[in-house]
Amino acid sequence: MTEKFDCLEDFENLAKTILEKARFKWIAGGSDDMVTLTDNKKAFDRYRFRPRLLQDVSKLDTSTTLLGNTIASPIAMSPTAFHRLADYNEGEKATAKASCSANTLMVLSSFSNTRIEDVKKAAPDGLYWMQVQLFKDKRITENVVRRADAAGFKALVLTADQPVFGKNRRDSAYKNISLKDHPDLLRSINLEYAGLEKYQIDDAQTWEDIKWLKTITKLPIVVKGITTGADAKIAVQYGADAILVSNHGGRQLEFLPATIDALSEVVAAVEGSGVEVYMDGGVRRGTDVLKALARGARAVFIGRPIFWGLACNGEEGVTQVLDILKEEFRRSMCLIGCSRLSDITPSMVVHESYYY
């Protein structure tokens, strides 16, 4: 691949020309009129920097820890399904290798095309968390949890904002994805248990299910999908070790707040609890990462850009996506006057209305 990529948008533009139209639409699409999806990205533009000048930034350190595990920068990978849609031969294996080489964290989706054990085997030294769903047949969830634990995954990420699948315009794209050459392209291989190939999300799930998860594993639990301080406090009460502020990439309930807007409310709600807070949704630039950290996130997670990297250049494409985003973040840190993540403070970022 000889294309020159200057930013993450370049990957998306090229991926649109490479991928089957239905595949691209399914990956890129969101709920209804995609108001939430669009606002996730636009919301970052509403914030302005207030830098500290003449600061020594000659020795820059972007490393951080997530639940005690060190990563090279506060940029990690959200759980996303079916990576073979973008890279049929390698899929999640390519993502795992890129994650490992970048010394970051990959969250594997329960709806992945690749077995938990095979992802770990592809890059044994990588850092992995496992996304889990609450199914009506709890044996399916339990099987995923126990296998991830046995494979050396370091945490569980519980998707809490999906008691049912959201209905949206990308549903037609899903149905139009060609399976002629690859009949297993949309196979959720890790959810097949005891001969069961069908699964139903439990629409009766409650906070009590976190207590149930704690009876079958000692892995820390990250609750994903929270956008309000009220739910953040409940998550802490039920034993969450971390919270991932997320609106499901604009794929579930429409008209949720952009995650960068919701972030500070959640951070304030759990202050003093020791619970870490992360966010995903709309992160496309290094300045986005910096704004999220200034508003209280310990790290950000990216989803769709991983698909664009896979489509453009497989493992190397994902590596390039991570490298570009990290380099943009490093440059932004220098320009705002920070040499360590601990130097980034809330006062460095304000909503644009501050200047009205």
Half-sphere CA count of 111, side-chain side, radius 13 A:
16
Amino acid at 167: K
CA proximity to 55, closest of 354, 346, 350, 335: 335
Looking at the chain, how many residues does it have?
356
3-state secondary structure (DSSP) of residue 224: strand
Q: What is the CA radius of gyration of the chain?
A: 19
Classify the phi-psi angles of 68: left when phi > 0, otherwise alpha if psi is within -120 to 50, otherwise beta.
Answer: left
Q: How far is CA 211 from CA 150, 224, 237, 251, 350, in A?
A: 20, 16, 11, 27, 38
**C-alpha–C-alpha distance, residues 92 and 97, integer Å:** 9
Active site residue 248: yes
Would you please indicate which residues are annotated as catalytic (active-site) residues?
248
